[in-house]
Amino acid sequence: MQGFKQTLTLGTIFFILLPAAHAEEAFDPFFELLVMGGIATLDANDSSAQMTPIQIDKLVQTNDNDWNAGTGQIGIGYVWGLTDDLQLADTFWFTRLNPQLNLYYLGGDIDGDVWRFQNPNYNQAHYESDFNSTRLMFDLALSVFELEAFSVYALGGLGIAWNEINYHAQMNPSCNCEIMDINLDSHHNNGFAYEFGAGITYAVMDDMAISLEYLYTGLNEIQLGNLTDEANGLTIHGNNFDINTQSVLLGLRFAL
């Protein structure tokens, strides 16, 4: 019985100490500065514009798969070491957790066709919208595995976006339309944003690394502006664009 109690006591101490050993930090935490830039797509999905009380036109985007937008990022992160115990051959798993505060800028054009009366047989106009977005995001990155100087990580975040969009439509010369050009007021929108993605980092020096990252960002619904045509006594209403974006960013990380 005495031997059983001693064995139980030693086993209890072992299981208490085991999690502490796995929680041992691989290095001292540090801050890092992130500076990145790249290209992006703008996917606005389809929307509509109410031209008159009885005419609603469908806005069909035509450049949603084009990587013709620009994006940039500057931020600061806090790199916290988790453990270096999860090792398989030369690969270490789940070694770092990195909360970040990032400021992003995104700018580009949204182009498309205008189907009058929402009928593809009346594809008689083309529209363009300049879109700019600045968002402040709280992101959380987790290093999935590390192999020598390489690290692969997953990232997700939430934040707020400040967006601006305008709208210009020009009717085709063949269109028998009373109004040939439409310019909706530039409109500002603030709203919730989310993002997730993955990346790879290569440490070129002890205090500097190169990072290549993919991000998918949802900006939710962006309201178009309106136009009051006093001469014809009507107001043209632009509806919402549900905008999301894919980005590829290349940049540097500096340990502070």
**Does 107 have pLDDT greater than 80?**
yes
**Does 74 have pLDDT greater than 60?**
yes
Q: Which pLDDT score is estimated for 24?
A: 43
User: Using an 8 Å Cβ cutoff, are 85 and 114 in contact?
Assistant: no
**Does 238 have pLDDT greater than 90?**
no
Rounded Cα distance, 48 and 117, in Å: 10
Q: What are phi and psi of 27, to 5 degrees?
A: -160, 170
- C-beta neighbour count of 184 within 10 angstroms: 20
Rounded Cα distance, 133 and 163, in Å: 4
More confident residue, 144 or 186: 144
Query: Which amino acid is it at 170?
Result: Q
Q: What is the pTM of this model?
A: 0.83
Q: pLDDT tens-digit profile of 51-64? A: 777 888 899 999 98
List of residues 6+ apart from 37 with CB closer than 8 A: 70, 71, 72, 73, 249, 250, 251
Name the architecture of domain 25-255. Beta Barrel (2.40)
- C-beta neighbour count of 133 within 10 angstroms: 25
195-209: average pLDDT: 96
Q: Which pLDDT score is estimated for 7?
A: 38
18-37: average pLDDT: 69
- Domain ranges (residues) in the chain: 25-255
**Does 93 have pLDDT greater than 50?**
yes
The pairing of strands 30-43 and 226-229 is unpaired
